[in-house]
Homo-oligomer: A and B are copies of this chain.
Amino acid sequence: MTDANTADTGMPSQEKPKPNLARGLRTHYCGELTEAEVGQHVSVCGWVDRRREHGEHLAFVDLRDHTGIIQCVVDERIDVRSEYISRITGVVRLRPEGTANENLKTGTLEIGDCDVEILNRAEPPPFSLHDESIGGQQRTSTDETTRLRYRYIDLRRQRMQHNLRTRAKVNSCFRTSMERLGFLEVETPMLIASTPEGARDFVVPSRLHPNSFYALPQSPQIFKQLSMVGGVDRYYQIARCLRDEDLRADRQFEFMQLDLEASFVTHMEIMDFVNEAVLDATQAIMGWRPDAIPSISWHDAQDRFGTDKPDMRFGLELQELTSIFAETQARVFQAECIKGFALPGGSSLSRNRIDELTEKTKSWGAKGLAWFRVGEELSLDGALTRFMSQQEQAAITAALGASKGDLLLLIADKRAVANQVLGRLRLEVGEPDEKASRLKFVWVVDFPLFEGFSDDGAPIPAHHPFTMPHPEDLSILETFADGEASKLLGVRSLAYDLVLNGWELGSGSVRISTPELQRLVFSLLGMTDNEVEERFGFMVNAFKYGTPPHAGFALGIDRFVSILLEEETIREVIAFPKTQSGSDPLTGAPTSISPQHLRELGIRPSKPS
C-alpha cells in the first residue's frame, strides 16, 4: 500500500503497490483508497458500519468491506442502517483539516458528493461487530454459541477476517515451500477402510454394500506410505483428517494437517523440509524469521522440562537433587528421585497461592510439594527445613542457583512422577521471558519405541507399528529374550515431534521398510501372523513389492495458526467450527435423516429417539 507521504512526493513506496482487484459494482475497495485517488470518481461497495447524522441534510456513512472502512459524506436524507448493503459512488477528497482519524488507514480521506444505492437491507445484527480491547487484543465479548449461530455475521469482524486471511496465507506458504522442495500434492481418498488402530473412526454406511462401512481418514498415513511404494518420491497434502473422539480440551472432530512423506531420506532431511516450510510461513505472517530450530532428545526433554513438549520461552529447568539427599533424615526426601527448580522472585507468592500449587501437584499425582523461601544470605525458610541438615539446605540452594527472594519448589517421588509434576508446575508458575522470542520452536527427537505394556504383557507401540527403531538400539530388539521386558522401554525410535511454545505442532517418524525388521517388531508386539494379516495385511503385502526407505511428518495447521495469532482456541481460526458438543448451531448438524434414507443404507437406530 502506498502510504500518504510517498504518494505526496511521488517516491516509490517500500512495499509493492497493491494491484487494484476491484471489479464489477465497485471501482475500489474501501480500505485501499489512498491519497493517490483524491479527485477520482469512485464506487465502493460493502456494509454500513456506522452512520452519523449531521443535521437534516448531512450524514456520514462509514462503509466497510474486508479491506477496511471509508467515510462517505451524504448530502441527502437516506434510510441506511447498520449492515445495510450499499454501493456508494462519489469523489475521493481529503477530510477537512483537523478531522482526520488516525485509527483508520483511510483516516485522512472521505468520499464526497455521494450517491448511495441500497443493494440490500439488513435486520439489526444480534451483536456488535466492533471489538473491544480484551487482554491487550481486540476481541469480542459475545458468547461463543451466539457467534457460531450467526457465524455469517461474526465473520465480518475485523479480527475474524484477519484470522481467516492469515490461515489462508499459511496454507499458501506451506504449498509454496513444499512445491519448491519437489513435493508432489497427492489427494488421498476420504472414503477409506476402517482400521483398528488409533482413535475411533467416523464411519459412513455403504448403500451398495450392505452391512459395510467406509471410514473417514484419521490421517492419510496408509496412502502416503503406499504412494512411497508407488514411486511418488515426495508427497504432500494439506489434508482433512477426522477423529470421532470426545471434544474435551481444544479439539474439533475435523482438523487440517500439512502431511508429507519422502523416500530415500533420513529423519534429518524430513526435519530440514519441515523447518523450511514452518519458518517460511512464520516469516510471511510475522514479518521476521525465527532462529534455526534446535533439537532435544525425548529423554533430555523429560529430564530438563518434565514433558515431551517443552515450552522453551522460559527457563526454570528441572534440576537433579537426588544425590544431595542420599543420607537425609527427612522422610519426605527418602525417595527414588528428588528434583526441583528455583522460581525467581517467588518468595513474594502468598501462602494461599503456594497452598494452591501444593494442591495442584497432589491432583497431578505427587504426594506433596516441598517449598522454601530464600532469605538473607541464602537462608531457607519453609516447613521442612527443621528436618534438613545445613549441608542439604546449602546444597539445594547451590544446585538450583537460587538468589535471595526466590522460591524453591521440590518434588520427591518416583522419577516419572517428579518429572511430570514439576513439568506442569513449571508451566503453572513460569512466564515467557519478555526478552525471548514470542515463538520458540523445538524438535523433540528419539521418542521411545514403546510406551508401556498392555495387560497381556505385550509392549504398546508409542506411535504405530511401522515406526523405525533407533539403529543404535536395534541390537536390544534383536537379542531380546522373554523376561527382559523392561529393557524394551529404553528402546528409542526414529520418531520426532515439532513443539511450539509448549504445544505439540506435529509428529513424524522414519518408517520400517524391510520385511525382516517389520516381522521382528510385529513379533515383539505379540502379534500372530493371522493378526498381522487381518490388521495390516494389505500394507505388509504392498511392502513386499519394492518399498524404498521413507519417512514423514504431519503438522496440525489449526494449532499452528492459532498460536501465530495468539488465539486461545482453534475455533477462532476455523471458518465454520463445531461446538464442544460437536454440533453446529448455525445449520443444526447433526440432524435426523429420513426413514427412506435409513432403509436405503440398511441401518436402523438401536436406541429409541
A interface with B by C-beta (< 8 Å): 21, 23-26, 45-47, 64-66, 83-85, 87, 119-120, 122-123, 125, 150-156, 160-161, 164-165, 167-168, 171-172, 175, 179, 181-182, 184-194, 196, 200-216, 222-223, 226-227, 229-233, 240, 242, 244, 246, 253-254, 256, 262-266, 268-269, 272, 513-514, 538, 542, 544-549, 574-578, 581-584, 586-594, 597-607, 609
Contact = CB atoms under 8 A, between A and B. Distances in A.
B122 A546 contact: yes
A590 B212 CA distance: 5
B200 A545 contact: no
B575 A150 contact: no
Given A189-B254, A233-B66, A269-B23, A590 B214 contact: yes
Contact of A230 (B151, B215, B216, B242): B151
Contacts of A26: 264
Given A45-B264, A201-B597, 7 more contacts: A23-B272, A155-B231, A187-B240, A194-B589, A209-B582, A209-B583, A538-B587
B600 A603 contact: no
A119 to B, nearest CB: 6
A538 B587 CA distance: 6
A163 to B, nearest CB: 11
A593 B213 contact: yes
A272 B233 CA distance: 37
A204 B206 contact: no
A264 B588 CA distance: 29
A581 B240 CA distance: 25
A187 B256 contact: yes
Given A514-B120, A546-B120, A589 B227 contact: no
A66 B208 CA distance: 37
A230 B548 contact: no
B607 A210 contact: yes
A546 B124 CA distance: 9
A162 to B, nearest CB: 11
B232 A191 contact: no
Given A226-B152, A548-B85, A208 B581 contact: yes
A254 B190 contact: yes
Contact of A547 (B85, B246, B263): B85
Contact of A545 (B83, B172, B264, B594): B83
Contacts of A253: 191
Contact of A227 (B155, B233, B262, B583): B155
Contacts of A599: 606
A600 B46 CA distance: 48
A392 to B, nearest CB: 52
Contacts of A514: 120
A112 B266 CA distance: 26
Contacts of A150: 545
Nearest to A208: B582
Contact of A549 (B119, B182, B202, B606): B119
Nearest to A155: B230
B597 A606 contact: no
A204 B254 CA distance: 13
B171 A545 contact: no
Contact of A194 (B164, B188, B513, B591): B591
A549 B265 CA distance: 51
Contacts of A589: 191-194, 214-215
A578 B206 CA distance: 13
Given A208-B582, A549-B25, A605-B603, A66 B591 contact: no
A251 to B, nearest CB: 13
A590 B152 contact: no
Contacts of A600: 200
A203 B192 CA distance: 14
Given A175-B172, A230-B156, A25 B214 contact: no
A66 B232 contact: yes
A128 to B, nearest CB: 13
Contacts of A202: 191, 204
